[in-house]
Amino acid sequence: MTKQAKRAQVTKARPSARKTTGMRAELEVFKRERILKEMIELIQERGFREVTLDALAERLKVTKPFIYHYFDSKQHLIATVYERGAQQLLASIEGYLDSKSPAAKRLHDFVRSFALQNIESRAVSVVFGQLEGDLPPQTLEAIRAIHRQFDNKLASLIEDGIKTGEFTVQEPHIAGLAISGMVRWIHRWFQDGRLSAAEISVLFADYALNLVGYRGKRSF
């Protein structure tokens, strides 16, 4: 085999620069997501004040400089998790908009899912409530902007029900704020006990329909 043929064979076997770059980027995303995941679990187990980057590094079996490559401080980590949660909140309502299903069913399904999510992540919600004032101003404003988008989308869903005659509430935006506030407060009082998380979530979905003045059948 000539040198030229060997070189061509090696070049063919070697991954392209684009593919290598893509794999490297995917690996970077994986590492970053793993750090965030372990940080959330540590907060749930120990509380924010007791979590240090040393503890996080020990849990991940890495050095602190490894973490600093992705996040420059514990506060940066928390801000990222907080903003991620806001983005997930906004994404959670998207699937209930512009649907052919009745608005009452969409609202009921959404609030049930929203409530269950708040119950399951209540430990983190408590931490966020305590540390919101410590977030950088730009991060706090970005999160508030996402929350405003969420509020507008929830109001839009309620407006759908008003247009079809399913809901009789007069102020859809205020009704949406009331529903959102009701659900977001769950983490302050929920404890495993007489009613399960799933049962409470259904109750809150029913309460949401009561709030918007729905009087139809509830066969969903």
What pLDDT is stored for residue 122 in this prediction? Answer: 72
Residue 189 neighbours by CB distance under 10 Å: 7
Whether pLDDT at 14 is above 90: no
Q: What end-to-end distance do the CA atoms of the chain give, in Å? A: 72
The model's pLDDT over 96-148, given as tens digits with 9 standing for 90+, comes to 997 789 999 999 999 999 999 888 877 666 666 666 666 778 888 888 898 89
Whether pLDDT at 21 is above 80: no
The full set of domains in the chain, from first to last, is: 16-72 (1.10.10.60), 74-220 (1.10.357.10)
Measured in residues, the chain has a length of 220
Whether pLDDT at 15 is above 60: no
DSSP symbol at 61 = T
Whether pLDDT at 10 is above 50: no
Query: In the block, which residue shows the tokens 């983490």?
Result: 187
Distance from the Cα of residue 65 to its chain's centroid: 28
Whether pLDDT at 217 is above 80: yes
Tokens at residue 166, please? 């399913």
Query: In the block, which residue shows the tokens 């907080």?
Result: 82
Whether pLDDT at 11 is above 80: no
What pLDDT is stored for residue 168 in this prediction? Answer: 97
Greatest CA separation for the chain: 83
The model's pLDDT over 57-89, given as tens digits with 9 standing for 90+, comes to 999 999 999 999 999 988 888 888 878 878 888
What distance in Å separates the CA atoms of residue 15 and residue 23, rounded to the nearest whole number? 10
Per the CB < 8 A criterion, the answer to whether 157 and 86 are in contact is: no
The model's pLDDT over 32-51, given as tens digits with 9 standing for 90+, comes to 999 988 988 887 788 777 88
What pLDDT is stored for residue 133 in this prediction? Answer: 67
What is the pTM assigned to this prediction? 0.75
What pLDDT is stored for residue 16 in this prediction? Answer: 55
Tokens at residue 4, please? 């030229």
Of residues 7 and 185, the one with the higher pLDDT is 185
What distance in Å separates the CA atoms of residue 94 and residue 104, rounded to the nearest whole number? 16
What pLDDT is stored for residue 148 in this prediction? Answer: 93
Best mean pLDDT range from 49-53, 178-182, 187-191: 178-182
Whether pLDDT at 185 is above 60: yes
User: DSSP string spanning 84-135?
Assistant: HHHHHHHHHHHTTSS-SS-HHHHHHHHHHHHHHHHHHTHHHHHHHHHHGGGS
What pLDDT is stored for residue 134 in this prediction? Answer: 67
